[in-house]
Chains A and B, each alone.
Chain A
Amino acid sequence: MNETNTPLQKHETGIAGLDHATQGGLPAGQATLILGQAAAGKTVLGLQVLARAIERGEGGVFVTFEESPGQVKRDALSFDWGASLLESNRWQLIDARPRLGVEVAGEFDIEGLLSIVAAAIAQTDASWVVFDGIDQLLQYQPNPRVAIDQIRQINEHCEDRGWTMLLTGKATGDSMAPAHLEGIEFLLSATLVLSARIVNQQLNRTLRIAKFRGSGHVTSELPMVIDAEGIQLPYHEALPSGGVLTRNERLSTGIERLDSLLGGGIYRGSSLLISGRPGTAKSTLAGSFAQAAAQRGERTLYVSFDELEGSYVRNLISVGIDLRAPIEAGLIYFLSLSAFASQVSEHFLALRRALDAFSPDCLVIDPISALLKAGAVEGANMATERLIDLARRRGITTVLTSLSGVQDPEGEATQGQVSTLADSWIVLDYNVRAGERNRSLSIVKSRGTAHSNQQRELVLSPSGVTLADVYEHGTEVLMGTARKARKIEEQEEEHRRERKRQQRRTEIEQRLAQVDQERQRLTSELEQEIVDSTETDYQEGVYREQIKQQRAPLGESSALHGDDDAHNDKGDPQ
């Protein structure tokens, strides 16, 4: 073959996640090695690829070298595509198990096998061929080198005939090839490795594209789920790209004052994380948001982890939030999931299917942190990230709650990536003071919004949820009774001050009046003084005159003058 003129053609597998991760499917007209330990999903993968091919109108041949045909059929029937696969005549199941007790007396060829398969392909017009467990046949080859050559022969046969083949084999340890077939991974252009490991008592499935010559592909281990629909790579299905306009519309949280703190609510299509310790009213806020959405006539997918619909709805009624009516009206679809029951990737899959089925305007997950309890914990952050991404791409406004540790209300450690990914982040907490707990709310971040940095008190009552301004007292923030008490104290203080001021004013006025009186008194005293002194002067003048007149004939004498200093210098005769 002239490979430079033959660009790599891909054959879609019909497994959306795998087609996405491989950018279009597996190499067409070639064999792809599927490696995995027992029960890793190799046979399922092969059957599912055939089932999907048959749905598209193609055909297939499944050659089983290990499981009995009955077992293969039972495998297929455990999936929802199994029955239609078994009914179809567009495929053939060939039982190529080596006979029991087979002996070997020399090397053998596989042309016979290929001839049998070619005949089956001709009958079914097959495009896909699955060789499930060919190592079971080739292990009888006395010389491993011959077995490896025969894999090459199979691959060349595929190229010549245009067959697209899945060649499964049992992985042994870390080896990239089945036992007896070391090195075949180098011969084939693509290798998928399936694994099923137990992590925290839970089965953790992954698929890895170990090799894909000439094609871009996702190289990391992809979390894999096997459920009724078969193999799924939940995080790797193509996401709707673009198309979602960034909207400036604000959606109410159902709490008027919170909306105003957020600059009018949260943006449509954005995500809000509400985190807090147990009992800080995370669910109340989430419920309030859903109720507000229902009042606008919008649809909300409401996912509750570990709490049943009945009790959840009832609990919210006690704070004036009614989800029952919108649930009955079909505006809220309540999905109750058990975190422990499944793996993170299975939860993700369930959520994605619910999003597909219900196509909501809003999504509430209470609490998203429950994913950390599910199996395959290391996938929780990825699941959350994908979920936020998925919702955003679909223009769904998302409210996630997250339970944080008692010691760590902002809980960076448990939040994982969520707080970074979410557009807005509200932290709820309680302050304990004066023998009571009071709920507080603060907005840690709100992208694209001037938001208040003030902590507020969250007040729950049967009539609903409100925010109260907290009382600042020096560097402290007071809430609840302390806030009320402090308020009353302050009012009294104010009164006291006012009274004091009044009193002082009165005092000053009184003093002023006193001073006025004094002034009047002094004025009149002054006047009296003037009158008095004028009189005295006059009397004195009169007296002097009299003396002068008496003395004049006898000459000058001051002997009778009482005021001696005024006259001494005049020369006292003594």
Chain B
Amino acid sequence: MSFPHQAGESSMPLLTLFVTGTAPRSQRARVNLAQMLNRIGRSDIQPYEIDLLEQPGQGITHSVFATPSLVKANETGEVSVLYGDLSDEERLSHFLADLARSG
């Protein structure tokens, strides 16, 4: 009845951005995320992108039904999710705080 799990969450990339094609909010999220990573000195991180229009099964696998959504997986496999177009800079920077390179 439900889609089989295709991938365990532990094998997730550090950052995954779920989008739907070229929807305006998805576009904004890409831009906002790139800017924030740059600001915190982590432009080295290349977020993995999943387009639910093309891979709907991935939404079920990762329990992501709102787009755009930013999913962060740390080394222990713990996953946190941030909904929205990431226009709330304060929330976004707080969400990414542990990735920031101090200095």
| A residues in contact (CB < 8 Å) with B | 69, 86, 89, 91-99, 101-113, 115-116, 118-120, 137, 140, 142
Contacts and interface: CB of A to CB of B under 8 A. Distances in A.
B84 interface: yes
B72 to A, nearest CB: 10
A110 B86 contact: no
B81 A119 contact: no
A92 B2 contact: yes
A281 B66 CA distance: 70
B84 A104 contact: yes
Interface of B: 1-3, 18-21, 23, 25-26, 28-29, 32, 52-53, 56-57, 59-60, 63-70, 79-88, 91-92, 95
Nearest to A89: B1
Nearest to A99: B81
Contacts of B85: 105-108
Contacts of A108: 25, 66-69, 83-85
23 contacts: A91-B1, A92-B1, A92-B2, A92-B3, A95-B63, A98-B83, A99-B80, A104-B82, A104-B83, A105-B86, A106-B25, A106-B83, A109-B23, A109-B66, A109-B67, A112-B20, A112-B65, A113-B59, A116-B57, A116-B60, A116-B65, A119-B56, A137-B66
Contact of A110 (B21, B63, B66): B66
Contact of A115 (B1, B26, B56): B56
B84 to A, nearest CB: 3
Given A111-B20, A112-B52, A112-B53, 6 more contacts: A91-B1, A92-B1, A105-B82, A112-B18, A112-B19, A112-B56
Contacts, number: 126
A105 B2 CA distance: 29
Contacts of A119: 56-57
Nearest to A146: B25
Nearest to B20: A111
Contacts of B82: 102-105
Contact of A103 (B25, B29, B80, B87): B80
A96 B65 contact: yes
Nearest to B87: A106
Chain B interface helix/strand/loop/mixed: mixed
Contacts of B2: 69, 92-95
Nearest to A62: B1
A107 B86 CA distance: 8
A105 B1 contact: no
A98 B81 CA distance: 9
A430 to B, nearest CB: 66
A119 B82 CA distance: 24
A92 B81 CA distance: 25
B90 to A, nearest CB: 8
Contacts of A99: 63, 79-81
A105 B95 contact: yes
A103 B3 CA distance: 25
Closest 5 CB pairs of A and B: A106-B84, A112-B52, A112-B67, A105-B91, A106-B85
A574 to B, nearest CB: 168
A97 B60 CA distance: 10
A142 B90 CA distance: 15
A118 B56 contact: yes
Given A105-B87, A106-B86, A137 B65 contact: yes
Given A113-B59, A119-B57, A107 B25 contact: yes
Contacts of A89: 1
Contact of A142 (B65, B70, B84, B86): B84
Contacts of B56: 112, 115-116, 118-120
A102 B53 contact: no
Interface centre among A69, A113, A115, A118 (most CB of B within 10 A): A115
A401 B74 CA distance: 74
Nearest to A87: B1
Nearest to A138: B66
A116 B59 contact: yes
A113 B95 contact: no
A96 B67 CA distance: 13
B66 A103 contact: no
A238 B20 CA distance: 47
Contacts of B53: 111-112, 115
Nearest to B86: A105
A109 B52 CA distance: 11
Nearest to B1: A93
Contacts of B65: 96, 98, 110, 112-113, 116, 137
Nearest to B26: A109
Interface centre among A86, A89, A98, A137 (most CB of B within 10 A): A98
A109 B20 contact: yes
B59 A115 contact: yes
A118 B85 CA distance: 23
A106 B81 contact: no
B95 to A, nearest CB: 6
A494 B25 CA distance: 111
Nearest to B18: A112
A103 B95 contact: yes
B59 A103 contact: no
Contacts of A106: 25, 28-29, 32, 83-88
A460 B81 CA distance: 82
A98 B64 CA distance: 7
A98 B70 CA distance: 13
Contacts of A92: 1-3
A528 to B, nearest CB: 141
Nearest to A61: B1
B28 to A, nearest CB: 8
Contacts of A115: 20, 52-53, 56, 59
B81 A102 contact: yes
Nearest to B50: A112
Contacts of B19: 112
Contacts of A102: 81-83
Given A96-B65, A112-B52, A115-B56, A107 B84 contact: yes
